[in-house]
Amino acid sequence: MIKKIILDCDPGHDDAVAIMLAAASSEIEILGITCVGGNSGLNNTVNNALKVCTLIERTDLKIFSGSNKPIHYDLFTAEYVHGKTGLDKKGDPIIVNPDYNVQEQSAIDFIIETCKSTSDQIYLCPTGPLTNIALSLQKDPSIKNNIKEIVFMGGAAMCLGNTTPSAEFNIYVDPHAANIVLDSGIPLTMMGLDVTHQVNVNKMIINSMNENNNKSSKFFGELMEFYTIFHKKLYETEDTPLHDPCVIAYLLEPNIFKGKLVNVIVEENSKLTRGETIVDWLGVTKRKPNCMVMSHADDKKFFELLKNKLSCLP
Ligand code: RIB
Ligand code: CA
């Protein structure tokens, strides 16, 4: 059964790999790619999505521009990880054809219209701050009826944050949006740092992907060469977590992951713990479980899947 998805992202090196993985998979139909401010400003994330789709020769994919800032806070970006453009890398720059451009329609209206126009159930796959998803739900709550599941990259259940000691970047940037999604009643699956830090890129992985001997795998290598720089400094290891493709890998092969249905709520205002995902793993609060939180990943299966799919791209 083909899964129809909207990929909401802030490319971003790992978002770029999530786009590639989804585009390479015949099991997935990408209805549209919506962009949000996050890793970089909105203009950059939109341009980067156009660049990735140009590189993989998928200019049929429609790119939509969403929110340039969180619901309440100012935008906090991650140039320190993804560089000035949000997709810095070595190698030749990607030239986007002038007639491949962002759609006129806003991301929010596209999400609403798409959810309401099909009787099929749609998967929302956010890999950036949850602002676009939250604003869509606020503007037209009835879209919940057509959303099968929201599989999102964000949060940290039982591990440290990566933006503050307690908060993962996507949730830190827009905690209010995160709580709107968590309160929605829609089936949710959280790919947090607990699980994304189990699928790490390193030189061996880059070399293995290059065995595909195609431009998309070469592009993967160029992206990862840059993406690993920051992580080496922060984590003092070459291993670099490949966060966002976990969302797509879960749709393709859910058995790569294991987790538990628990209650998750996000701290919105504390100076110290803003963006912390309070994950009630032991059920001590008696709050209603609202999210499948993933805690384990089979990295061998993950990278076998990624290599196989990258080989299907140009
Ligand atoms: O914390 C990692 C997440 O924040 C990833 O989605 C990365 O792309 C950034 O958006
Ligand atoms: Ca992202």
Which among 170, 235, 242, 277 is the best mutation to test ligand 1's pocket, defined by most ligand atoms within 8 Å of the CB? Answer: 170
Q: Which of 5, 69, 13 is nearest to 244 (CA)?
A: 13
The reported pLDDT for the residue numbered 274 is 98
The whole-angstrom separation of Cα 123 and Cα 189 is 11
* Residues 32-70 pLDDT 10s: 999 999 999 999 999 999 999 999 999 999 999 999 999
What's the half-sphere exposure (Cβ side, CA atoms, 13 Å) at 302?
27
Q: Is the pTM of this model over 0.85?
A: yes
Task: Classify residue 104 as exposed, middle or buried by CB count within 10 Å of its CB (0-12, 13-18, 19+).
Answer: exposed
Q: For residue 153, give the ligand 1 atom closest to its CA.
A: 6
The reported pLDDT for the residue numbered 213 is 98
Q: Ligand 1 center to residue 192 CA distance, Å?
A: 10
C-beta of 199 in contact with ligand 1 (< 6 A): no
The reported pLDDT for the residue numbered 236 is 81
Q: For ligand 1, atom 2, which residue shows the shortest CA distance?
A: 169
Tell me which H or E stretch contains 260.
strand 257-266
Domains and CATH numbers, the chain: 3-310 (3.90.245.10)
The reported pLDDT for the residue numbered 119 is 80
Q: What is the pLDDT along the chain (314 residues), one digit of tens a residue?
A: 899 999 999 999 999 999 999 999 999 999 999 999 999 999 999 999 999 999 999 999 999 999 999 999 999 999 999 999 999 998 889 999 999 999 999 999 999 999 999 888 999 999 999 999 999 999 999 999 999 999 999 999 999 999 999 999 999 999 999 999 999 999 999 999 999 999 999 999 999 999 999 999 999 999 999 999 888 887 788 899 999 999 999 999 999 999 999 999 999 999 999 999 999 999 999 999 999 999 999 999 999 999 999 999 99
Q: Which of 195, 189, 155 is nearest to 175 (CA)?
A: 155
Which among 169, 196, 242 is the best mutation to test ligand 1's pocket, defined by most ligand atoms within 8 Å of the CB? Answer: 169
Strands 200-201 and 240-241, bridge-based pairing: antiparallel
C-beta of 38 in contact with ligand 1 (< 6 A): yes
Report DSSP state, residue 144: G
Sheet holding 28-35, edge to edge: 63-65, 28-35, 3-9, 122-126, 147-153, 188-191, 291-297, 257-266, 277-280
Token pair recorded at residue 109: 């209206």
Q: Which residues are catalytic?
A: 243
